[in-house]
Amino acid sequence: MENIFIHHHWGTAIINGWHALPAALREVFSFQRNVHELKTLWPITKLMMSLMLLATIGSFLFGQDFGFNGWIGLITGMAVVLNLILVDQGRLTNYSWGLLGCAVWLVIAINNRLIGDIASQSFYVIMQFVGMAVWHTQLNEQGDQSELASRKFSWLDGLFWFVVTAVIYAIVLYFSKRLHGTQVYLDATLLPLGIVGQVLMTYGYRSQWVAWITLDLINVIIWFNQLKTVSPAATSMFVLQIIMLINALYGAYLWFYGQQAEKPANN
């Protein structure tokens, strides 16, 4: 079986996607579409979103960090929550919030000297533009243009991405040690897992959630350790990691099973 990396669909999606970028940008940042896609979320998803936003705001107030980093942490948390919720249901406007969340998260990662996280967030910022272009094209090609349909791939493809993850981890770990980063062994996992998760998400593969769940578990540990050292925006970011882990489990359910279960009711 062909590897998904060299499958003709990938090349076609990239070419068509970049041609569609201007139109994708208009749709992603359309105020009307953003409002519509939030209003039409499933009731259980709206409940998840409300609880996640309340937890984000609550952690900000509890942490009592009302300086610049604290407010940046709050903005990051709220943007990431909205991004994640919209990704769960395959909505294009997730990228408007994703771009905001990645940009402000990058500021926090720099302040905490998390080298792997800095590299990850820089990569995510670039991939927001790739993702919005490819998703816009794929949505136009499928019958139902409201939500991106999930795909699956073979175990050989999974083995390929496992090797890619291991190689990138070794590279990031080497540079993290040289740059005297924080929590280098854990922090070095963020970029490889983020690359794999983001690429698979961009092309609509449901196996992305394996990478995201693993990454979120590691992030919970990293930010718990940062919390103990009273690092900038650590309280907000620690709670955000827990929220992201819960959301990843919910997103995995939707992409593996939920779309099939809910589609008939929404037709």
Q: Does a structural domain hold residue 79?
A: yes
Q: What is the pLDDT of residues 168-193, one digit of tens each?
A: 999 989 988 888 777 788 888 888 99
Q: Which two tokens stand for residue 128?
A: 């927001």
DSSP track, 7-47 = SHHHHHHHHHHHHTHHHHHHHHT-HHHHHHHHHTS-HHHHH
Average pLDDT of the chain is 84
CA distances from 214 to 72, 82, 115 (A): 25, 21, 19
Residues 15 and 128 in one domain: yes
- Among 143, 162, 190, the domain-final residue is 143
Decide which of 257 and 248 is more confident. Answer: 248
- Among 117, 143, 169, the domain-final residue is 143
Residues 136 and 234 in one domain: no
Quickly state the pLDDT bin for 18 (edges 50, 70, 90): low
| Residue 15 buriedness (CB in 10 A; 0-12 / 13-18 / 19+) | exposed
Decide: pTM greater than 0.85: no
- Among 143, 164, 180, the domain-final residue is 143
Residues 180 and 235 in one domain: yes
pLDDT of residue 260: 56
pLDDT at residue 1 tops 90:
no
Q: Which two tokens stand for residue 129?
A: 């533009």
pLDDT of residue 12: 56
Residues 77 and 199 in one domain: no
- Residue carrying the six token digits 């593969």: 205
Find how far residue 144's CA is from the centre of its chain.
23
What pairs with residue 205 in β-bridges? 151
pLDDT of residue 112: 77
Residues 134 and 15 in one domain: yes
Residues 129 and 160 in one domain: no
Q: Does a structural domain hold residue 78?
A: yes
Provide the residue range defining the domain that includes 99.
Answer: 10-143
Q: Does a structural domain hold residue 265?
A: no
pLDDT at residue 264 tops 50:
no
pLDDT of residue 175: 87
